[in-house]
């Protein structure tokens, strides 16, 4: 690919524009070739650039018929290999007028006469474009008016410092200098759509329909387009895009539908319109399509909204899904992902490193929130979902920042599948865990990633003593006695806590004193657990078995009197615990 100096003054240059593309327009060196062919000979050559339309005619010179074979030919890349584009066998006043378009590449065209017998054939070859667009990539900048570039699309032989500067140029929309689009999606018309660069934050660029690499703008229905949000009354920087029936744009100030002016028509370069739907505004976090709805983070990062068409109002609404749990996102959301199986769950990484999780089942009116933390001063930084893991469950992956042995580490970790194995040896209820599965031993090594951490141990299905990782090893102990095991899970422990909402017992609940006397806990495949009015005042859930227990347990509680009347169920050991329901015997005192 040739390189050269761009003509002085042809572009305004800055060192940060290295890598930028510039479109430079020059008049073509020649647009017509004519010749009188009266022997086996050829015309001069004409450069026909890719995408340019040509016209070719033959006539009788001086009114006399010609006899012979005239061919319109072309070659690529100076190969000296000429191919026939259009042949004309002349006899008895046979002449032609034909047109075509060079679709493959820049080429050299010529007209040849062969098998000549008599007469003179007047030929003319011309192109319809009298200017040519070339593309140059800036490779270095030597001064405010001079840049060196590499020619990406031919300039028509005009790279010559003796050629005057041209005022017909434009800078590419995207570069390190101008910025790059922050969003990309595929539109309903099968266009690759980019939106929201630093220099043009309100602009959306759509490719040719069905051709994601062609961004050539035109007036045909399937040509590429450029659209800028105007008339909204504010700086509506585009934050995310998603395809529904129309392209949905989430901006700083509102949520728009980008499509044709008529909803029953397709978007085209000459028929494109943005229609404002809601005015909550969005964070720069990719929204998520969940069946008929779009879930997005509202500007400010504290609310998840559900963008959904409402038939009654014939418009889109964006209801707040955190309205009953606004504390759950109190530090702000910075990343999201959606898990579809085994249950529909929205994962939201918070700015403080915790994860807010919402079980989302719209048809059942289920919008249930909880939150996750992790040990070793761990902070979640991002989340992603991969479809179809073990048992066809979606895999949830996270990046976690941990402090290990006084150093900051970042790990890629995956949440274990919801469908746990029935064998207790293989259950995984630990963070950042590793599994040892071999001959019985009391020394487990290979724990460098947890150096210096207090870890929990599940060995051969039993909860062993906690241990501290030293020199990447632990010694397994049960009741302080060194004990061997063949299947061992080692990782960071955590406490799962279930705390229902305040009790609704009628009357003026805030002024009454309450005491929970008994609880009937309905469990599913559970081993152990604790229940009580607070995390430090609990009773053990005794299932009476060391295997998975499903059924109800009645527990007498030892809590005192309080206005709150709180109840919690928790699991601090690396064992399963699922609570299906709680039935409480509550004593109420006061009005």
DSSP result, 507-576: S-GGG-EEEEEEEEEEEEEE---EEEEETTEEEE---SSSS-EEEEEEEE-----BSS---EEEE-SSS-
Exposed, middle or buried, 230 (CB in 10 Å: 0-12/13-18/19+)?
A: exposed
Is residue 407 in a domain?
no
Please report the pLDDT score of residue 13 as a whole number: 56
Question: What is d(CA 34, CA 65) in angstroms, rounded to the nearest whole number?
Answer: 18
Q: What is the CATH number of the domain that holds 298?
A: 2.130.10.10
Is residue 206 in a domain?
yes
Assess whether 320 and 375 both reside in one domain. Answer: yes
Secondary structure (DSSP) of 164-179: PP-S-EEE-S-BTTTB
CA neighbor of 170 nearest in space, from 11, 18, 14:
11
Question: What is d(CA 53, CA 30) in angstroms, rounded to the nearest whole number?
Answer: 14
> How confident is residue 10, by pLDDT bands cut at 50, 70 and 90?
very low
DSSP summary character for residue 363: G
> How confident is residue 161, by pLDDT bands cut at 50, 70 and 90?
very low
Please report the pLDDT score of residue 90 as a whole number: 77
Is residue 446 in a domain?
yes
R_g over Cα of the chain: 37
Q: Do residues 31 and 75 lie in contact, with contact meaning Cβ atoms separated by under 8 Å?
A: no
Assess whether 431 and 536 both reside in one domain. Answer: no
DSSP summary character for residue 424: G
Is residue 405 in a domain?
no
Assess whether 297 and 429 both reside in one domain. Answer: no
Is residue 412 in a domain?
no
Assess whether 288 and 430 both reside in one domain. Answer: no
Assess whether 278 and 328 both reside in one domain. Answer: yes
Assess whether 166 and 214 both reside in one domain. Answer: no
**Mean pLDDT along residues 198-203:** 95
CA neighbor of 552 nearest in space, from 518, 580, 573, 529:
580
> How confident is residue 519, by pLDDT bands cut at 50, 70 and 90?
very high
Q: What is the pLDDT of residues 124-156, one digit of tens each?
A: 999 988 777 888 999 988 887 788 889 888 776
**Distance of alpha carbon 104 from the chain centroid:** 33
Residue range of the domain that includes 446: 420-492
DSSP summary character for residue 45: P
- Is it the case that residue 407 has pLDDT exceeding 60? yes
426 to 389, 416, 421, 461: CA distances (angstroms): 17, 11, 6, 8
For strands 549-556 and 379-386, give the pairing. Answer: unpaired
- Is it the case that residue 8 has pLDDT exceeding 50? no
Q: What is the pLDDT of residues 485-514, one digit of tens each?
A: 999 999 999 999 999 988 777 655 566 788
Assess whether 248 and 391 both reside in one domain. Answer: yes
Please report the pLDDT score of residue 163 as a whole number: 53
Is residue 400 in a domain?
no
Residue partners of 502: CB distance under 8 A and separation at least 6: 509, 564, 565, 566
Assess whether 357 and 233 both reside in one domain. Answer: yes
Question: What is d(CA 189, CA 258) in angstroms, rounded to the nearest whole number?
Answer: 12
Assess whether 367 and 278 both reside in one domain. Answer: yes
Q: What is the pLDDT of residues 413-437, one digit of tens each?
A: 999 988 777 788 889 999 999 999 9
Assess whether 428 and 541 both reside in one domain. Answer: no
How many domains is the chain built from?
A: 5
Higher pLDDT residue, 320 or 169?
320
Is residue 406 in a domain?
no
Assess whether 424 and 508 both reside in one domain. Answer: no
Assess whether 296 and 381 both reside in one domain. Answer: yes
Is cis: bond before 308, omega within 30 of 0?
no
Residues in the chain: 591
Is residue 178 in a domain?
no
Question: What is d(CA 493, CA 454) in angstroms, rounded to the nearest whole number?
Answer: 8
**Mean pLDDT along residues 333-361:** 96
Vertex 394 angle, CA 391 and 395, to 5°? 100
């Amino acid at each position: 690919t040739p390189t050269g100096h761009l003509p002085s003054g042809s572009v305004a240059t800055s060192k940060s524009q290295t890598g930028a593309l510039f479109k430079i327009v020059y008049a073509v060196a020649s647009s017509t070739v004519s010749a009188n062919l009266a022997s086996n000979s050829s015309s001069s050559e004409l450069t026909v650039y890719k995408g340019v339309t040509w016209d070719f005619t033959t006539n009788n010179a001086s009114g006399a018929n010609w006899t012979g074979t005239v061919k319109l030919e072309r070659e690529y890349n100076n190969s000296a290999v000429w191919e026939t584009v259009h042949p004309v066998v002349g006899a008895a006043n046979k002449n032609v007028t034909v047109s075509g378009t060079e679709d493959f590449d820049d080429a050299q065209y010529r007209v040849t006469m062969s098998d000549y017998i008599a007469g003179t054939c007047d030929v003319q070859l011309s192109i319809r474009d009298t200017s040519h667009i070339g593309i140059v990539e800036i490779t270095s900048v030597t001064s405010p008016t001079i840049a060196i570039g590499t020619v990406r699309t031919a300039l028509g032989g005009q790279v010559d410092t003796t050629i005057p500067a041209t005022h017909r140029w434009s800078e590419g929309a995207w570069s390190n200098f101008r910025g790059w689009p922050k969003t990309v999606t595929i539109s309903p018309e099968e266009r690759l759509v980019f939106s929201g660069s630093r220099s043009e934050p309100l602009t959306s660029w759509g490719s040719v329909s069905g051709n994601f690499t062609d961004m050539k703008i035109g007036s045909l229905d399937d040509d590429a387009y450029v659209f800028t949000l105007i008339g909204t009354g504010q700086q509506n920087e585009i934050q995310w895009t998603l395809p529904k029936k129309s392209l949905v744009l989430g901006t700083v100030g509102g949520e728009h539908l980008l499509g044709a002016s008529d909803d029953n028509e397709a978007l085209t370069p000459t028929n494109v319109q943005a229609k404002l739907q809601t005015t909550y505004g969005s964070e720069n976090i990719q929204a998520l399509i969940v069946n008929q709805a779009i879930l997005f983070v509202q500007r400010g990062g504290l609310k998840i909204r559900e963008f959904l068409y409402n038939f009654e109002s014939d418009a889109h609404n964006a209801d707040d899904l955190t309205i009953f749990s606004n504390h759950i996102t109190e530090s702000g959301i910075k990343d999201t992902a959606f898990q579809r199986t085994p249950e529909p769950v929205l994962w939201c990484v918070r700015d403080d490193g915790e994860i807010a999780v919402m079980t989302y089942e719209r048809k059942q009116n289920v919008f249930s929130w909880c939150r996750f933390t992790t040990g070793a001063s761990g902070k979640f930084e991002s989340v992603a979902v991969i479809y179809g893991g073990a048992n066809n469950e979606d895999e949830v992956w996270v990046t976690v920042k941990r402090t290990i042995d006084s150093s900051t580490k970042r790990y890629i970790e995956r949440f274990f599948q919801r469908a746990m194995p029935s064998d207790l040896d293989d259950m995984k209820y630990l963070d950042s865990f590793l599994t040892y599965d071999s001959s019985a031993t009391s020394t487990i090594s290979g724990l460098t990633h947890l150096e210096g951490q207090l870890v929990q141990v599940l060995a051969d299905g039993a909860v062993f003593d906690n241990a501290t990782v030293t020199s990447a090893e632990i010694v397994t102990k049960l009741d302080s006695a060194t004990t061997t095991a063949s299947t061992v899970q080692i990782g960071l422990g955590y406490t799962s806590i279930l705390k229902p909402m305040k009790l609704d017992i009628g009357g003026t609940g805030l002024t009454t004193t309450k005491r929970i006397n008994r609880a009937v806990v309905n469990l599913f495949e559970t081993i152990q657990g604790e229940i009580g009015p607070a995390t430090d005042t609990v009773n053990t859930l005794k299932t009476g078995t060391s295997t998975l227990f499903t059924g109800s347990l009645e527990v007498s509680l030892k809590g005192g009197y309080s206005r709150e009347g709180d109840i919690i169920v928790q699991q601090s050991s690396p064992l399963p615990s699922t609570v299906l329901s709680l039935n409480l015997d509550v004593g109420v005192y006061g009005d």
